[in-house]
Structure 1
Amino acid sequence: MNIKRNIIFALESRKKAGVSIVENVPIRMRVNFASQRIEFTTGYRIDAAKWDVDKQRVKNGCTNKLKQSAAEINASLLRYYTDIQGIFKKFEVQEILPTTEQIKKAFNTLHKPAEEGKASKDGTETSTKSFYKAFDEFVCDCGQRNDWTHSTYEKFAAVKNHLITFREGLTFEFFDEKGLNDYVTYLRVTKEMRNSTIGKQLAFLKWFLRWSFRQGLHQNNAYDTYKPKLKSTQKKIIFLSWDELTILRNFKIPDNKQALERVRDVFLFQCFTGLRYSDVFNLRRSDIKGEHIEVTTVKTSDSLIIELNNHSKAILDKYKDVAFEDDKVLPVITNQKMNDYLKELAELAGIDEPVRQTYYRGNERIDEVTPKYALLGTHAGRRTFICNALALGIPPQVVMKWTGHSDYKAMKPYIDIADDIKANAMSKFNQL
């Protein structure tokens, strides 16, 4: 059973003397399902100017009147989102369409103060509550300390969901070698995850168990020696060859698809600068310094100086007189929408070379052949820049200065690809 629902965080709409209140506004959580709506208070307030309507979160770096930080508030909102999703999943497993009262009751039970809950005779209920409460504290603590991005919070929300759906009454003691084996089996068989994905999920769980062990919450360190054999292959790097890049640049976009032009321009700018999506999104006019751009990357906080070439300059010139919000340089849309449009654009342009990807699920080897356009995303722009720069003979250490890579090991897969491109190019002399 699949219960369609929509979970929205928004500021409460309040007016005083006919004027909208924009300071210290309550944040509400609205849940829509089966033509019904439930409103929850989150217990947090924020000024409207500090609220990101699109992301439905407090803007990074902001605080409210109680000095609660964006990281703290957003972590709690994500926790509420995860809890609601977990509640719906339980009803789905039981194939029950819940009433609004059942959802409210289940949510309020989760958020009762710890002292209100009564432990069962064997202490299981207390241990279970302690496990998930500790997970929430772990997310909040590590998130604030490491300045996690929204996507990282989302990853750990998914980890918690997997744990909840795996077993309802989890405790720290459960995760001995057998318990860890059972969890890996669940991810492989029930969730049908690839070995590489299972490895990531296990690493996230170990991180939490290691943190909680250091906090003195349990004495079970079985995770330390647990290393299952998860056969995997190196992930294939998806990029555009110079010929494909030329095809994409020269493709005449249909009149009824003109929105794709701006998407193409942003993607091409990545292909000629090596910038990640997040850095193109944040690029401001003040970052353009004549013949180069200066950026501090969002992901790694590296300060980079990237020289402009004729291709990247042409794209900047195209939009130099267009005013964008927050003085941005380029018309960058959301990552998800841009990924969707990129696939559509590449398909229309005929970039459909079959790409074979190999992965393992348990000991089963699975080969999938997919047209290249279906695998394209914004990060392919950065990869395209690196691969083509190396193929042109630009030294790796120079490319690394542009991309911010500090580890030669991270560049090796790209160098191998560049060597293959050069070898294939040399073979063309045999056709003369």
Structure 2
Amino acid sequence: MEINYHSQFLLDKEKDSTTGKIRFRIKWDKNIIAFGVGHRAEFDKWSLETQRCKTNSTHGVKKIPASVINKKITDYELACERVFRNFIFENKTPDKKSVREQFNLEIGRKVVTEVEIEKTVFEIFDLFVKEESRINLWANTTFAKMKTFRKHLKTFDPKIDFKSIDEEKLLKYQYFLQEKLELQNSTTLKNFSFLRWFLTWATKKGYNSNTTFQHFRPKLKTVQKKIIFLTQEELKSVKNLKIPAKKKYLDRVRDVFLFQCFTGLRYSDVENLKRSDIRENFIEIITVKTSDSLVIELNDHSKALLNKYKDSQFDNYKALPVISNQRMNEYLRELMELAKIDEPVRETYYKGNQRYDEVFPKYALMSSHAGRRTFICNALSLGIPPQVVMKWTGHSDYSAMKPYIDIADQTKINAMEKFNML
């Protein structure tokens, strides 16, 4: 289910006043609702392009700093996004009343009412999704994973209750995932991590008193998933590829992907990048996934890509022509095949105790996240210290960088071997 909505911030004009109340308007289908932001802005210090107060300005009699007002504007935008994500997750059509109520809840204008314990596990799970998505600012991919997990659990036992989740029940769920759904071991373990997350939350909230799940850990064979990225030579091939006239739609996809390759941004952060985030020599963002505040310097490649679209107009004042992640991944594979990124790559995985080995051309395994991986791997292979790369990518755990460091070390070994050809 998709819901197309448009939101914008407007200043209410008042006769003989140099300031206007900031109003947040949301439009979807034939519905329009609006909310007051609680601040006034001076017209000559308001940017129509960014829908923000101009940097370093102050507003009104109380001289409220632009940073304070702009933060609240951003909070409203994120709250609106979470509201519509929840409707998509629950597969419900939004009406004015429900959107207004949920938005007010998101921005703290109403207190969450306590829910009776008689609610089903799945109704409580929906409450878990709403609360955790607000706190952790879930991306669309996380919503999709939770929706799939809920579907699996309901297929397994539509009448499941907390008391019945003992060791025998958990084993049956494991076998259901492995044998009925034929999931890979890594996916089965991921399902159990979601289950523990939900049950831990339900226990803290007082819905559940059965703690058997805390000690249940399936022992399943897994392998480290391969990091798919472009080498420096492959990156040049993609950058210099002449795209056929009938496939011009791939040009913008390539630009967005290359911007990831030269900045290390996740898809969610490129998709959320606004013109107001761009400075002369760097970009300044709050990441969608982890809410980290990052300053990423621009190089010649990333600057050129931003300049290419500086005069283009995109929805919500976005800086780049980003399409949906699903469609971008489809077009990326098409682009990589044209660029002959077809090195054979072996993927190994387990289902139960059975090992499976499959070989794919590299282009078939490409996704938008390969852009971020390409940036990290190439930065390390160029000799940039890991602690510097981590400043750009927002990694706080050094162990998370180890797989990339191992790849960079192997790249250096292979590069040194080229001297043997002299």
**TM beyond 0.5:** yes
Seen in structure 2, the aligned counterparts of structure 1 residues 242 and 147 have a Cα distance that, compared at 3 Å, is closer
Instruction: Give CA-to-partner distance per residue, 1:241-288, whole Å, 9 cap, x none.
Output: 011111111111111111111111111111111111122122222222
Q: 1:417 aligns with which of 403, 407, 410?
A: 407
- The 5-angstrom pairing of residues 42-57 of structure 1 reads 47=33
Letter in 2 for 1:173: K
- Separation of aligned partners in 2, 1:360 and 1:218: 33
Q: Does 1:175 align with 2:135?
A: no
- Separation of aligned partners in 1, 2:32 and 2:88: 13
Q: Does 1:341 align with 2:327?
A: no
SS of corresponding position for 2:285: strand
Deviates more, 1:157-166 or 1:419-428: 157-166
- The 5-angstrom pairing of residues 55-94 of structure 1 reads 62=76, 71=82, 74-75=85-86, 78-80=89-91
Paired residues of 2:347 and 2:357 also in contact (CA < 8 A): yes
- Separation of aligned partners in 2, 1:424 and 1:25: 55
Paired residues of 2:261 and 2:374 also in contact (CA < 8 A): yes
Paired residues of 2:234 and 2:341 also in contact (CA < 8 A): yes
When the two chains are superposed, the root-mean-square deviation of aligned CA atoms in Å is 3.0
- The 5-angstrom pairing of residues 33-48 of structure 1 reads 47=33
Deviates more, 1:220-229 or 1:297-306: 297-306
Paired residues of 2:269 and 2:287 also in contact (CA < 8 A): yes
Q: 2:359 aligns with which of 369, 372, 383?
A: 369
- The 5-angstrom pairing of residues 253-268 of structure 1 reads 253-268=243-258
Seen in structure 2, the aligned counterparts of structure 1 residues 292 and 355 have a Cα distance that, compared at 3 Å, is same
- Separation of aligned partners in 2, 1:8 and 1:306: 33
Paired residues of 2:268 and 2:288 also in contact (CA < 8 A): yes
Paired residues of 1:24 and 1:46 also in contact (CA < 8 A): yes
Seen in structure 2, the aligned counterparts of structure 1 residues 248 and 71 have a Cα distance that, compared at 3 Å, is closer
Paired residues of 2:137 and 2:289 also in contact (CA < 8 A): no
Q: Does 1:141 align with 2:131?
A: yes
Seen in structure 2, the aligned counterparts of structure 1 residues 179 and 397 have a Cα distance that, compared at 3 Å, is same
- The 5-angstrom pairing of residues 311-326 of structure 1 reads 311-326=301-316
Q: CA deviation at 1:359?
A: 1.0
- Separation of aligned partners in 1, 2:257 and 2:198: 37
Q: CA deviation at 1:72?
A: 5.7
- The 5-angstrom pairing of residues 233-312 of structure 1 reads 233-312=223-302
SS of corresponding position for 1:359: strand
- Separation of aligned partners in 2, 1:321 and 1:76: 34
Paired residues of 1:25 and 1:47 also in contact (CA < 8 A): yes
Letter in 2 for 1:345: L
Partner of 2:70: none
Seen in structure 2, the aligned counterparts of structure 1 residues 77 and 238 have a Cα distance that, compared at 3 Å, is closer
Seen in structure 2, the aligned counterparts of structure 1 residues 74 and 342 have a Cα distance that, compared at 3 Å, is closer
Partner of 2:47: none
SS of corresponding position for 1:253: coil
Structure 1: state its 5+ residue gaps. 1-6, 12-22, 29-44, 51-58, 83-113, 116-125
Q: What TM-score does the superposition give when structure 1 sets the normalisation length?
A: 0.73
SS of corresponding position for 2:219: coil
Paired residues of 2:139 and 2:288 also in contact (CA < 8 A): no
Instruction: Give CA-to-partner distance per residue, 1:332-354, whole Å, 9 cap, x none.
Output: 21111111111001101111001
